Structure formats: structure tokens, C-alpha cells
Amino acid sequence: MVSTGHMAPLLALLLGACKPDDTDDTEGPVDTGPTDTADTAPIEPPSDFEAGRYHVTAMEILDEGEGFDLTGDGEIDNKLPAVLTLLDMAVEDDMSREGMNATLAASIAAGDLVQLVDARYAESVLVYDLLLGSMDEGGALHLDEEQSFDAHGVPWSRLEGVFLDQVAVSLGPDDVQIPVVFYADEPALMIPVQQAVASGTLDASGTGAMLGGAIPVEELMDQVVEPLIPEEGYGDQTKEELLKTVEALLSNENVATIELADGARGIPAALAFSAEPATW
């Protein structure tokens, strides 16, 4: 039996074969109608944005249940609040999600944390750089090139993507290192994020996005946790003891739920930010 799904092309073939030869007595070229130029027409970019610079005025670590589905299982992946709760036990400062968000807000307002965005769009490719800066006493912004770029002059935190329409953007996945100043007058700590993705908006009036990805446990310990724990330790534990305790907790598969290359584990995280036009 021939299925109905195959009947249409079969009938077309049979009808074509049975068509009398004298049905078409036209001489010369046959007008087949307008030529389809869809394949040759130039593709117009969905946005007329070209370039812009911005200063981040708000940043928030998102709660569990907010972020991206990084594993494709239909569930949001974000364990950063749980990680901050663990870190809170190892340092004197308030490292909880609520405490960190309060610290971020205060640092941005005081000009101690100056995050900058430099965006460029050409040939349908969007380049979105997250940079570190500083603010002088007069309120002028300055780019911190030393802590924003690697030895080859490439930003540590560069995401590439596309415009989905006039203002909506989709970025990544890219592996980045986001420079963040936790304490005034101290060097930035590099937050490693693999498979980083972002979605948001971008135009001349400002930009904002939700950013997510996986933070490798080993790099998080080396680049963030170790510098944050005081040399004298905390409470009744030495620094070495605290590092072992925290690493064991962060390596748990219920926290480090993302499997990375070479068997490494990553902690899913997500944050949101908004920025306004700026010059530097």
C-alpha cells in the first residue's frame, strides 16, 4: 500500500507522463512569470545600531529560578545564591546574595565599581565588551586598560552575537573573564565564566542584559575564593582549612551542576545589569 504522504508526488508524476504532446504549441521563449530574487537580494541587518559606550548603573545577582537553561533540560540553571551562602561562612563580610547585591549597589553609587560596556555592530555581527573603569573626583569616567585587556589587547570579557530585531540582542556562548572590584582601592578579581550567554536590549538610549554561564570550580577557588579569605583565616579555622571546606562544598554535583571539558565541574550563575550612555 502507498501511504497518503507519498500519493501527491506520485500523482504529479503520473499526470505529467500522461499529458498529451499537443497541449503546448507555443513557439519561442515561454514567460514563466517574475524571477524569484530572494536568494540574490542583499540581507539587511535587523538593526541600524552602529556603536555605543555605556556605564553600568545597576547590577543584580539573580536568585535561583532566574537565569538560563544551560543544559537544555527545560530547567533554569543558577546555583550562585547557594555558592554565596557557602562563601558567607568563610569570610567576615556579608557574602549572601542579599549582602552582595547591597554591596554592588553601594559600590556602583560611590563610583568604586565602574563597569563599562563598549558595543559595535558591523556586517551583522555584534561585539559587546564588558570593561572595567574608574571615576575621578569630577565624575569623569576612565577606562582601566590594564585590568580590562589581556596581553594581546583583547578584552577579557568579550561577547559576540546578533540583533534579533531593532533593539533585542542575543550574545554568546563565549568563555570570558569578568573583572570585578569587590573592595575600593584593591585590584579587580577575575570572575571566570564559560559558555557565557546574554540576552537583552541595546540602542542609543542604553543597554541592559541578563548574563549567565558556568563558573569553573577550580578557577573560582584560585581567582576569587582564595583572595577573599583572609590570611589569618576566619572563626576557628585557618585559611587552608577554610579553602578545603569551601572547595569540597562547591565541587558537590548538586552545586556544580554543569559538566565542562576534561571532566571539570561548573557552577551555573546569572546576573542582570543596566547601563546608560557614557563617554570615556
- 18-70 pLDDT, tens digit per residue, is 334 444 444 444 444 444 544 555 567 799 999 999 999 999 999 999 999 99
Strand partners, 208: 201, 274
pLDDT at 6 over 90: no
Neighbours of 157 (CB within 10 A): 25
Mean predicted confidence (pLDDT) in 255-279: 96
Q: What is the pLDDT of residue 42?
A: 56
- 67-111 pLDDT, tens digit per residue, is 999 999 999 999 999 999 988 888 888 989 999 999 999 999 999
Query: In terms of C-beta distances under 8 Å and separation of at least 24 residues, what long-range contacts does 246-255 make, across chains too?
Result: 246/86, 246/87, 246/90, 246/221, 247/217, 247/221, 249/86, 250/83, 250/86, 250/217, 250/220, 250/221, 250/225, 251/217, 255/79, 255/82, 255/83, 255/86
What's the whole-model pTM score?
0.82
Q: What is the pLDDT of residue 43?
A: 64
Mean pLDDT lowest among 2-16, 118-132, 137-151, 233-247: 2-16
- 181-208 pLDDT, tens digit per residue, is 877 788 899 999 999 999 999 999 999 9
pLDDT at 144 over 60: yes
Q: Considering the chain, what is the average pLDDT of its residues?
A: 87
Q: What values do phi and psi take at 235, rounded to 5?
A: 65, -130
